[in-house]
């Protein structure tokens, strides 16, 4: 059976992927979206989104993704609930393998596979997900104004999350596994200078505690003495990093040391002409829905420009 040929294939279906689809569809490119293993992306695990423009009363994360999907479909986007399991960017058109079975050929590809927050791996993280456990202080910190929270981590991300939350919360407990932080000196200085951040050295999370209302505390253990104690909190924030979902592109695209796709400054272009990267798969700095959507728009415009140039090449005498 001959492989289907597509003008634009979008891999991923979060804010970046759906926005790329909206723009590509309105440009008449008839995009095909492969929704991936988590249709809608990370926001489908978020109850309340209050910082995305256009929702003055906030919006449920899954509802927002449904809204974006319907908008993309309104202009003719086709969405398939399948996973791109392999790619071959060494040939043109690009070759994609779907669910380890079907082949699709694409004249251009927009990668919107996102990134996944790293978790500690304790069951209570999932038990209290969206009920006190979060991996994004900028996204969810607003809900913990005037409360006590904990942040686990020791790098720049943890330092940034802790200092951000300290502006909103009465107290921030920073849980650090070792007797020192990995954060840059300037970030450590900011943490140390913030009076309502208490650092718990040599401390690991044993269990997140709570009830029907959500998180009520965290039980920690001192990894030197073995002593356990409970810290009363209402919010628990993970800041131990994110892992971009880019492994299947490693053989073809330039990635940084953490696996994020490198793009040319001011664009979404990768080292392979015709392949574009948008959203959290290429963004390790902002990681917000609105910035992901912005790069999704850029990716579609970059793809449209690329395809127009390809078409012009074929009609030249």
The residues that are catalytic are 136, 139-140
Question: What length is written for the chain?
Answer: 317
Structural contact between residues 216 and 209, judged by C-beta atoms closer than 8 angstroms:
yes
Q: What stretches of 167-268 show up as alpha helix (H) in DSSP? A: 185-192
User: Which residue has tokens 């569809």?
Assistant: 25
Residue entry with tokens 């999370």: 205
Secondary structure of 72-133 as H, E, C letters: HHHCCCEEECCCEEEEECCCCCEEEEECCCEEEEEEEEEECCCEEECCCCCHHHHHCECCCE
**Strands 102-111 and 94-98, bridge-based pairing:** antiparallel
Cα separation, 48 vs 58, whole angstroms: 7
Whether the upstream peptide bond of residue 93 has omega within 30° of 0, thus cis, is yes
Compute the Cα dihedral for 271, 277, 281, 284 and give only its sign: positive
Q: And the tokens for 107?
A: 């004249």
In the sheet where 214-222 sits, what is the strand order?
203-211, 214-222, 228-232
Chain centre to alpha carbon of residue 250: 18
């Amino acid at each position: 059976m001959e492989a289907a040929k597509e003008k634009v294939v979008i891999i991923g279906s979060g804010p970046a992927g759906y926005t790329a689809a909206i723009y590509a569809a309105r440009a008449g490119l008839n995009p095909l979206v492969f929704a991936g293993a988590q249709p809608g992306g990370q926001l489908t695990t978020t109850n309340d989104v209050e910082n995305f423009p256009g929702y003055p009363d906030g919006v449920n994360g899954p509802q927002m993704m449904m809204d974006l999907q319907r908008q993309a479909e309104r202009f003719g986007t086709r969405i398939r609930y399948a996973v791109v399991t392999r790619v071959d960017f060494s040939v043109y058109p690009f070759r994609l393998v779907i669910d380890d079975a079907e082949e699709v050929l694409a004249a251009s590809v927009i990668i919107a596979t996102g990134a996944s927050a790293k978790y500690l791996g304790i069951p209570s993280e999932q038990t209290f997900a969206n009920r006190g456990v979060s991996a994004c202080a900028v996204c969810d910190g607003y809900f913990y104004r005037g409360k006590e929270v904990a942040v686990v981590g020791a790098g720049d991300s943890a330092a940034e999350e802790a200092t951000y939350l300290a502006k909103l919360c009465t107290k921030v407990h920073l849980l650090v596994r070792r007797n020192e932080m990995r954060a840059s000196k300037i970030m450590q200085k900011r943490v140390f200078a913030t009076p309502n951040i208490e650092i718990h050295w040599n401390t690991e999370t044993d269990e997140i505690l709570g009830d029907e209302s959500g998180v009520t505390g965290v039980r920690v253990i001192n990894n030197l003495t073995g002593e356990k104690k409970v810290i009363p909190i209402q919010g628990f924030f993970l800041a131990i990093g994110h892992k971009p979902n880019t492994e299947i592109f490693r053989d073809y695209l330039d990635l940084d040391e953490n696996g994020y796709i490198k793009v040319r400054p001011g664009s979404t272009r990768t080292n392979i002409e015709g392949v574009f990267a948008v959203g959290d798969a290429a963004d390790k700095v902002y990681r917000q829905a609105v910035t992901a959507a912005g790069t999704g728009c850029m990716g579609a415009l970059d793809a449209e420009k690329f395809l127009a140039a390809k078409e012009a090449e074929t009609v030249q005498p």
